[in-house]
Amino acid sequence: MKLFKHNLFVLLAISLTPAYHGVEIIGGRKVKAHSKPYMVSIQVSEDHKTYTHWCGGALISENWVLTAAHCKATMQAKWKSQVVLGAHSLSQDKKSKQTVPIIKWIDYGKFNLKVLKDDIILLKLESNVKINKYVNVLKLPKTMVTDVKPGTSCSVAGWGRTSACSENASDTLLEVKLKVIDRKTCNSKDYYNHKPEVTQDMICVGDSKGRRDSCQGDSGGPLICNKMYIGIVSYGEGCADPKNPGVYTLLTKKYLDWINKTIKAQVYNMTAEELY
């Protein structure tokens, strides 16, 4: 049974327990308050009154957030969703926080939970956020991302639990340092064994000693390597397992082109296909 990083529900006849819902940074540390103003808490509500953290994400423009497609795929249709920005503590920082409803989820159109390809989605916000010292955009790569050298140091941030045994989420933003693992190694028999296949549009990042990891709900959060926005937290089996590291959607040219076309098309109230 594959354990993914964000839900407690049965979907497409696959048991996802105990993964997906909640955020978990293992072996991480607290982030300096408001040092990552692009971080987004995607929150959901079943009763349309009380919202809880569901996924991470990155603000890429004044009214667009980039996250993982499985965050939407594992939600129930009746739920409402919103984003919270400018938060270091999810329960405090009231003056710095901005809360904006999500009005549209637009995925790449090819996401498949069984094979986990194209785990990327755009969220259109109801209104523009106010850019300030607490809330700001994370720039997408200017040049094409083809791959990242194995051994490269990267970081992931998120809110939530600090151990696999804990049921309580961290109230403050945490960060963990990880390293890129060779794709061939990640697909090898001792690792994922091509189940699922780690493709050229994905990247493995973890810790060889299993001391640190992103897990269960960091889903959708940005992967930062060499000070660049490189990828999106997608999936992994277990937490802090050195032979089952986190797998991230790599922001390759096809995804960057899609992001730019989709946002441009929405300005003209068209689909990306109609625009060209």
Say if residues 201 and 117 touch (Cβ distance below 8 Å). yes
Neighbours of 124 (CB within 10 A): 16
- Whose CA is closest to 259, among 132, 55, 109? 109
**Which residues does the annotation mark as catalytic?**
70, 119, 219
Say if residues 67 and 123 touch (Cβ distance below 8 Å). yes
What letter represents residue 249's amino acid?
A: T
What letter represents residue 252's amino acid?
A: T
Q: Six-digit token pair at 145? A: 């991302």
DSSP 136-175: -PPPPPSS------TT-EEEEEEESBSSTT--S--SBEEE
- Whose CA is closest to 232, among 122, 104, 132? 122
Strand ranges inside 138-276, DSSP E: 153-159, 173-181, 202-206, 213-215, 222-225, 228-235, 246-250
Q: Say which residue the tokens 């249709």 belong to.
A: 77
- In whole angstroms, what is the distance from residue 149 CA to residue 101 CA? 38
What letter represents residue 183's amino acid?
A: R
